[in-house]
């Protein structure tokens, strides 16, 4: 009997965030080896504003909240794990007067903000402007005018290629690779919980690290959903794509709708297991071969601690949904996912 749970998580620096309908918990490995458990307070905006519980709108609100909460959780994990202090020591080990801790935190916050702004600007160039320019270049080379379906497909393929290449390249960074290992531990632990097995390192280790409700799958779904939106807009407003600056603005304005629609599709894929949801989930599950890595046992301990800390009083598991599962102990990717 398969199970569906609303519990989700995020890999952090030497830690994991787990979120259930009742609470959000962070488990971080401190420099002395102990596991620090903390909670993030505050009700979701979707609980305070009823209209944001509606389909599409709940996806938009959830995406914004997850970005804000994820950033906060990452900063907390960097501080508690000692990563922030270690990075600051590397930068100031040659300085005669190293900055105080408060100054170090302020500097790190400033650097993170600047990096975020530059990251958004780079993303706009790579995922909005460059694909359009390349598609126009191909049309010029072949001396033809592509249909909305063809031109949109080319753009989305370029976006997908850029995204996959970027994620693959960052896996060569030691710190990022460890985050991806924690990502794998998070998925394995949630699968163990959904199967109703005791949360032990041994049971968690046997689970697959590929989950259909992963944020990686969401990013891939956004690219696929944006293909449909792009085609629809070009059919409704012929010629809008020929004005590059206007087309970029239109794509920016479509982002909330794409996020909302992608969230609904991801929600369905995580709740039901049939041929259609497997086909839709397949690209995201393939991508998780890059964004998740097999975790070490101490990482699994962190994932278990964070899930236990956020587990609701009434188990957050719907046991009414039938799914096909591979036997415990098997990690057969082809058998479990398309």
Q: Which residue has the tokens 């995204």?
A: 163
User: How far out from the chain centre does Cα 276 lie?
Assistant: 22
HSE value, Cβ hemisphere, 13 Å, CA-based, for 8:
18
Per-residue confidence band for 109, with pLDDT thresholds at 50, 70 and 90 = low
Per-residue confidence band for 123, with pLDDT thresholds at 50, 70 and 90 = confident
CA distance 255 to 60: 9
pTM over 0.95: no
Q: How many C-beta atoms lie closer than 10 Å to residue 314's C-beta?
A: 8
CA distance 179 to 304: 16
Tokens of 338: 């398309």
H or E stretch covering 19: strand 15-19
CA distance 234 to 150: 11
Most confident segment among 237-246, 289-298, 322-331 = 289-298
In this predicted model, what pLDDT tens digit does every residue of 160-200 receive, in sequence order?
Answer: 898 899 889 999 999 999 999 999 999 999 999 989 899 99
At 207 the pLDDT is 96
Phi-psi group of 315: left, alpha or beta (phi > 0 → left; psi -120 to 50 → alpha; rest → beta): beta
Q: What percent of the chain has pLDDT over 70?
A: 81
User: How far out from the chain centre does Cα 64 lie?
Assistant: 12
């Amino acid at each position: 009997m398969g199970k569906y749970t609303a519990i989700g998580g995020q890999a952090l620096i030497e830690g994991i965030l787990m979120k259930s309908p009742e609470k959000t918990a962070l488990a971080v490995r401190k420099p002395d080896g102990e596991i620090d458990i903390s909670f993030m307070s505050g009700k979701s905006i979707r609980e305070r504003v009823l209209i944001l519980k509606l389909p599409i709108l709940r996806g938009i609100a959830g995406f914004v909240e997850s970005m804000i909460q994820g950033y906060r959780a990452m900063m907390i994990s960097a501080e508690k794990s000692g990563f922030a202090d270690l990075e600051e020591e590397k930068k100031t080990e040659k300085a005669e007067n190293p900055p105080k801790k408060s100054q170090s935190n302020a500097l790190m916050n400033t650097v993170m903000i600047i990096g975020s702004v530059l990251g958004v600007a780079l993303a706009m160039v790579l995922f909005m402007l460059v694909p359009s320019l390349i598609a126009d270049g191909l049309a010029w080379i072949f001396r033809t005018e592509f249909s909305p379906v063809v031109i949109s497909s080319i753009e989305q393929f370029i976006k997908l290629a850029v995204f996959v290449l970027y994620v693959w390249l960052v896996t060569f960074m030691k710190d990022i690779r460890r985050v991806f290992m924690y990502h794998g531990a998070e998925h394995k632990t949630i699968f163990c919980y959904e199967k109703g097995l005791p949360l032990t390192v041994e049971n968690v280790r046997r689970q697959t690290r590929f989950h259909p409700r992963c944020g990686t799958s969401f990013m891939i779904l956004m690219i696929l959903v944006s293909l449909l939106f792009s085609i629809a807009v070009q059919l409704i407003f012929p010629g809008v794509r020929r004005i590059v600056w206007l087309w970029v603005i239109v794509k920016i304005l479509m982002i909330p709708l794409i996020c909302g629609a992608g969230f609904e599709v991801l929600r369905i894929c995580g709740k039901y297991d049939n041929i259609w949801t497997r086909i839709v989930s397949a690209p995201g599950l393939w991508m998780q071969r890059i964004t998740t890595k097999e975790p070490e046992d101490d990482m699994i301990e962190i994932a278990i601690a964070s899930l236990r800390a956020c587990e609701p009083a009434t188990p957050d598991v719907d046991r009414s949904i039938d799914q096909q599962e591979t036997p415990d102990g098997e990690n057969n990717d082809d058998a479990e996912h398309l």
